[in-house]
Amino acid sequence: MTIPPTADVRTTLVSDLDKGFTVLVRAYQPGIYSGALRLTHSREDAQEVAQDTFLRAYTALGKYNDDRILKLKVRPWLWTIAVNLCRTRAKRARPTNPLPPEETLGADDDDHFDDTDWNRRLEALSQTQRRAVVLRHVADLPVNEIAEVTGRPVGTVKADISRGLARLRTIMEAEEPK
Amino acid sequence: MTNIEELLGDLNVTPPVDLERSTLVSAGAADQVATTDSAFGPLWISWSPIGVTGVSPLFACPTVDEFMEVHRRNVYTASRLPADLTDQIDAALEFGTTSEFPVDLRGITEFQGSVLEACRRIESGSVRSYGWIADELKNPGAVRAVGTALGHNPIPLLIPCHRVVRSDGSIGSYAFGSDMKHDLLLSEGAILA
């Protein structure tokens, strides 16, 4: 789905919470699921994060007045909730239902990616690098929004992304046949 | 060397098909809908985690899209009603025990909600006038507004707006026609003028 302009989402939320919330879920849940999948390495956790993020958002939106909703930075707000939920899950024991190997993936999965390889590569990054790289290049967030979500300065986020990508490049070059 | 940014972009995948549905339904931002049989033919019945949100005979709304249009709610089709609601709704349709199942009346005005709650207290086999409901609300001048509120009842049959008739005992109007209102009241054993 094409993501509608944030101002339109906010206006719809103010005029009709349920309709606006439906727009919000359709626009942002796929990105949050994809990002959570790479941050938790678990389909079960990613689904829970992608659902709980929006359930918390819905409860909060029901309590916000119109002015607060109209000033809301929607995507970083949702991602702040999602990243906190991912962090909570990371503190728990290892997932009981980790990503299956490529050959068992369902029909909705891209034939071209290999979960096991990507999990291993992303695990090799520091937590801040992995989060910055996933938010920037999997979830497609701009750097300034990642800075809001993570509470780190823009310059630091850029460095996290740059170092993370360099590390991934090194890992993938080492994987290529000589 | 393949572009790493592009490969990472390919990791943006489609979520499981039921994730959107389960999120919207769990939040209460969308309802589920299923059909059930009644003496007046099949009915659409929609519900939220709180209770029943909408009812319409299929002859009035032949498709789920038309049901959505009338009720102005996003709905997802389910194969059947939840078991606990099925028992309560079957009892309401068969024995007229219309005050004993949960309803979700979000989205309507406080006044309309009060009118519908008063209407639920009218027992099967009885009829009351629009004026009676206005008196119940301690607002005797609101007879016309009561009629309007009942005319927009989102849960007809189960919230028995058909049990409200004119003060002269004549049957009055009904969303699905006066004949159906007449038949409903007769089937409940009401004595009509």
Chain A residues whose C-beta sits inside 8 Å of any chain B C-beta: 17-19, 21-22, 25-26, 29-31, 33-34, 37-38, 43, 47, 50-51, 54-55, 58, 108-110, 112-113, 118, 133-134, 137-140, 165, 168-169, 172-173, 176
> What's the mean pLDDT in B144-149?
94
Q: Is the pLDDT of residue A174 over 70?
A: yes
pLDDT at B85: 87
> Is residue B61 annotated as part of the catalytic site, yes or no?
no
Q: What is the DSSP letter of B87?
A: H
CB B45 within 8 A of CB B90: no
Q: Per residue in A67-103, pLDDT tens?
A: 999 999 999 999 999 999 999 887 775 545 555 544 4
Chain A residue numbers touching B16 (CB-CB < 8 A): 43, 47, 108
Across the interface, of A30, A51, A54, the residue whose CB is closest to B14 is: A30
Is A19's CB within 8 Å of B22's CB? no
CB A17 within 8 A of CB A61: yes
Q: What is the ipTM metric for this complex?
A: 0.83
Whether B11 is in a domain gets the answer no
> What's the mean pLDDT in B136-153?
93
Whether B100 is in a domain gets the answer no
Mean residue pLDDT of chain B comes to 90
Residue of chain A nearest B11, judged by CA positions: A138
pLDDT at A112: 42
% of chain B surpassing 90 pLDDT:
62
Is A139's CB within 8 Å of B5's CB? no
Whichever domain contains B24, its CATH number is 3.30.160
In sign, the C-alpha dihedral spanning A177, B1, B5, B10 is negative
pLDDT at B40: 82
Domain check: are B122 and B180 in the same one? yes
Whether A125 is in a domain gets the answer yes
Whichever domain contains B167, its CATH number is 1.10.10.10
pLDDT at B71: 85
Q: Per residue in B47-89, pLDDT tens?
A: 998 999 999 999 999 999 999 988 888 899 999 999 888 888 8
Ranges of beta strands (E only) in chain B are: 31-36, 43-47, 52-57, 75-77, 128-129, 164-165
Q: Is the pLDDT of residue A111 over 50?
A: no
| Residue-range definition of the domain harbouring residue B43 | 19-95
Whether A1 is in a domain gets the answer no
Question: How far is the alpha carbon of A151 from chain B, nearest alpha carbon, in Å?
Answer: 23
Q: What is the pTM of this model?
A: 0.79
